[in-house]
Amino acid sequence: MSELCKVLIVDDEYLVRQGIKHLLHWEEEGFHMVGEAGNGKEALEMVATLEPHIVITDMVMPVMDGEEFVRRLKTSNPNIEIIVLSSFSEFEYVKSTFQSGVADYILKPTLETEGLLHVLRATADKIPSLRGREHSLESFTPSVDHIIDKLISGYETDTDVTNIRDSFPYDGFCLLGCPLKSLQGKKQNEIDSYKSNLLTELKDYLSPNEVRLHLIQTEPHLFIVLLNCRHTEVKQMTDILRHMLTSMREQKQGVWVLGELFQHLDQLGSIYRESFMKQMEYSFYFPEQLIIVTSELPMFPKLNTKFNLNQFTDEIKRKQSDTAFQYLQEHVEVLAAQFKNDVFEFKSFLSNIIFVIITLLDGSEVDTEELNEEKYVYFKRMEEAEYARDAVIILQTFLDKVKLMIGSVDNKDNKRVQQLLDYMHEHYAEPLTLAELSNHFHFNASYLSSYFSAHTKEGFSEYLNRIRIEKAIEMLKDDDYTISVISGSVGYSDHSYFCKVFKKFTGDSPSSYRRKFMKQEK
């Protein structure tokens, strides 16, 4: 068979890389996709290991852009041919790379199978070791990696999966995986080496049993293997995996997940996308677990987890923050126990609550300058939280700080409010209004109204009326005062309104109350 031309794809957009990977039948056309990188720096590290004949690279990328990557690659590996991907707007920029020895370019907006294949063939013909080879390999048999990759990615494959029966001879399949958290920021060759060693360790544990393992190349920081065994031996295999992971506890990367059992390889794509990757997220809610086995997950009843935001905000506005925060914490506790909740939605809810609380406090006496400066730190930490418990701790840390700030304001305000209440008791006969008192004592009128509701269990007007009616009751006990005089003396200029308010508080009119009192005195 002719030698396959090895190709490396470099583009910071995952979907673009996936699109190119599945645009044609690479191996059938005489090419082998040996790897993919997200930027020039990552690609340079991979070149030494993969030794590609051709590199297809984007121009605009983070860390190291295409222009610098092309220059460095051609300096260190002049025999590697380079094809540049570009958009129309980048064309002048792309032309500068031809001075570094770029073989050809492809416009992204017009990228299609025939055009890509034409450029690849023309470029491969420039490589001495590949010159004269057959473009199409009639006897080509797709590799296991090629078929698995097609199935995982959701692209249709016209290859009969029974052709790889020798690689997967048993009637049971399941996926096993874990996140490689400690490898964040590591070079690609280090990640590949770690995955290879981990696969070897798995094989050593499982080799005495009739189990086949195949490493699936997906995201760099995910380790996922396809297990193939007799479906009757899945329970035994699960026990072996638990024993293995217990012995590896000290080097634990994250929570492992063993997916559901399926019996046909062509189910792999749907199982991976619709089930297994969702189950991988469950580890967010089970940080103490060594392995999550899908068939052993607890059955939780579906709970109504809708948060009453109106109730929460009303309690904050009415200065009942302790009640509001207690309700929030109870709700979050319920959410954190629902492992099927979407992780992004869970984190977004907690971040949104932090934002809502700060916004509500902006209209209060609390100085929110520091909170507004720190909120983006909270958002970032929430986004990076590995587990639900970590996200809850971040929220709790925020709430603890807010409680202290509110408590500090309340302590200061208690003295000021007491002065205000004393003033109302002394000047109740005067035409007092909330706006006038707020201005006199340097309170925000809205805050003062909320404070009354929270701490006196009644509004400002009701509190003032209560003082006046209590004074009126004292005066009614003295027969020397007429009801009209009493009305004016306690602050009511409208006699009929005074009678209405008095009856609301006592259940009697002023005259009826006086008669009953006098009768009791006799």
Q: In this predicted structure, what is the pLDDT of residue 437?
A: 84
Q: Give 302-357 pLDDT, tens digit per residue.
A: 666 789 998 998 888 877 888 999 999 999 999 998 888 889 999 999 999 999 99
Residue 242: strand pairing partners? none
Residues 188 and 81 grouped into a single domain: no
* Domain housing 74: 5-140
Residues 114 and 197 grouped into a single domain: no
The contacts of residue 297 (CB under 8 Å, 6+ apart) are 282, 339
Q: In this predicted structure, what is the pLDDT of residue 519?
A: 80
Residues 163 and 136 grouped into a single domain: no
Helix (H) or strand (E) holding 45: helix 40-50
Q: Give 205-223 pLDDT, tens digit per residue.
A: 876 667 888 888 777 778 8
Does 342 fall in a domain? no
Residues 131 and 169 grouped into a single domain: no
- How distant, in Å, are the alpha carbons of 136, 139, 174, 387, 509 from that of 160? 19, 15, 20, 41, 95
Does 437 fall in a domain? no
Beta-carbon-side half-sphere exposure of residue 240 (alpha carbons within 13 Å): 16
Q: Is the pLDDT of residue 133 over 60?
A: no
Does 65 fall in a domain? yes
Q: In this predicted structure, what is the pLDDT of residue 137?
A: 46
State the pLDDT confidence band at 485, using cuts at 50, 70 and 90: very high
Instruction: Tell me how many domains the chain contains.
Output: 2
Does 439 fall in a domain? no
Out of 80, 105, 140, a domain closes at: 140
Residues 292 and 177 grouped into a single domain: yes
Mean pLDDT within 454-472: 84
Residues 177 and 107 grouped into a single domain: no
Q: What is the CATH number of the domain that holds 125?
A: 3.40.50.2300
The contacts of residue 123 (CB under 8 Å, 6+ apart) are 54, 81, 83, 103, 104
Task: Look over the chain and give the mean of its residue pLDDT values, rounded to a whole number.
Answer: 82
User: Distance between CA atoms of 192 and 9, rounded to whole angstroms?
Assistant: 17
Q: Give 269-302 pLDDT, tens digit per residue.
A: 889 888 898 888 888 898 888 888 887 887 765 6
Residues 14 and 80 grouped into a single domain: yes
The overall pTM is greater than 0.95: no
Residues 207 and 126 grouped into a single domain: no
Does 351 fall in a domain? no
∠ at Cα 375 (370, 381), nearest 5°? 130
Expressed in percent and rounded to 5, the helix, strand and coil fractions of the chain are 60, 10, 30
Write out the two tokens for 29.
């056309």
